[in-house]
Amino acid sequence: MKITTVAIPALAALAFSLETMCAQAQQVPLPTTAAEIPGPPPGTAMTKEYVQMVGRMAYLWGWPLVNSHNRREAFGKAPEQGLLGSVVPVAPIGQVTMLTDYIQPDQSFITCPNQDVVYGGGYFALDKEPVVFQVPDFGDRFWVYALYDGRTDEFGEIGKAYGTKPGFYLIVGPNWKGAPPAGINAVVRSSTDLAFAAPRIFKDDTAEDTKAIQPVLSQIMFYPLSQFDGKMKTKDWSKIPNFPVPNTSEKGETKWVVPEAFFDQLPEVMKEVPPLPGEEALYKWIDSVLEAADKDPTIKQTLKETAVTAEDELISPFFHWRYNGRPAGNGWNSPVNNAQWGTDYLNRTGTAKSNMYDNRPNETKYIYRDFDSQGQQLDGQNIYSVTFPKGQLPPVKGFWSLTLYDQYHLFHPNALKRYSLGTKNKALQHNQDGSLTLYFGAASPGKDKEANWVPAPNGTFSLYLRAYWADQPVLDASWMPPNVEKVK
């Protein structure tokens, strides 16, 4: 076979030709901004099926954003820092309210709360004014201030795991160009003007620790920059007012997204949450249908019907843990990108439906399940066990817990007033071989085992493992939680 060689001058000429072609190609401008990616021109005909397709996609994508928006609208109307129905912290926009103990078990405003930490909460409108927050000296106690933008992504790294020092910090919006005043340790920037803060401070289940934590809780304060004077402010959270809860016959979590109103709210939400890099075309595509709906009542009605259907077909299934995240071993599932979703719309919306406002994985690893080891739905009419072999408790620097939730992902009221077990519990009984067995079911597993028992409803329930400040084996799934075995 004859091999043809090419002279070096010929190769040089070819390289020059290709370089010239590339240079010419680079002179052709590519659309890079929202203004240059117009989508369908106004007045373009749209079939019902096309509107339904875009509507379903927009509903899945925008569900967490509308959820966040509506929560701020509701909680931010509080006339002052207080408790809604004596159980949930609410505050005017720009402030945060703290609880003084675990969240009460009868609340239904948020799903999947825990009884390991003292919670706080508050929403901000950072286009109005930046917000100062105080960090007291927590000593060896685990704590984290989770800060979320309008997409439910966490921003900032504030907490025990980050070595955050006591002092004053400033939260600013995406367009803030000021200079922080003297005395501010650091500036934390949100990518959206809508922001939410959820401090979480670990507390064990003793009356002594409840008393011991009060001085630091009183120093957890968020307030507008205009109120900053360089002095540590305090507030006695035990003396804040209670606000009545509107009567409702709904079961489960408050319905923060109303399908029939979704596409009326979405345009405003899209203005307050700018597109991420690469989302410009997506925004324009959705905008084109929303603009068409403003002019055509038939399209508007189609969008409303599409939202109702999408809620049932796309969103509701996310409430089941098997549709959240990916397998974590032994029948458990776990999210991967929690609180740092970016363009992972699938998991962002799944978590917003089942468990709004996760921490980042390095702050909290969440692992959950609906079924026992035989693939059967967990049911309180049975008794189940979870046994951690000796030396195989969740490896964490913070703490761990295993919580039981009812069919609505809420606490099941019970005579023991016990909803989870873990690091906070000082009376857990280990087996003779050093292992630890926890029990879950409506009936007692036996008097000698009740210290390790969480009562369940007579029906559907799920289990939820939290590993705060988890070690690497939890993060990379080389450590796996034990299976859930049916005892009887």
Secondary structure (DSSP) of 117-174: EEEEEEEEETTT--EEEEE---TT--EEEEEEETTS-EES--BGGGTPPSEEEEEE-T
Beta bridge partners of 466: 366, 401
- Does residue 425 have a pLDDT over 70? yes
* 449 band by pLDDT with thresholds 50, 70 and 90: very high
**E strand map for 286-394:** 326-329, 332-334, 364-369, 383-388
Distance in angstroms (rounded) separating the CA atoms of residues 293 and 287: 10
- Does residue 30 have a pLDDT over 60? no
pLDDT digits (tens, 9 = 90+) for 286-307: 999 999 999 999 999 999 999 9
pLDDT at 7: 38
pLDDT at 15: 38
Query: Amino acid letter at 36?
Result: E
pLDDT digits (tens, 9 = 90+) for 214-260: 999 999 999 999 999 999 999 999 999 999 887 666 788 889 999 99
* 120 band by pLDDT with thresholds 50, 70 and 90: very high
% of the chain beyond a pLDDT of 90 = 85
* 211 band by pLDDT with thresholds 50, 70 and 90: very high
Domains for the chain: give ranges and CATH numbers: 46-74+252-303 (no CATH), 82-234 (2.60.40.1610), 321-486 (2.60.120.600)
- Does residue 315 have a pLDDT over 60? yes
Cα pseudo-dihedral 106, 369, 147, 120, rounded to 10: 20
Q: Which pTM was predicted?
A: 0.90
pLDDT digits (tens, 9 = 90+) for 342-366: 999 999 999 999 999 999 999 999 9
Mean pLDDT, all residues of the chain: 91
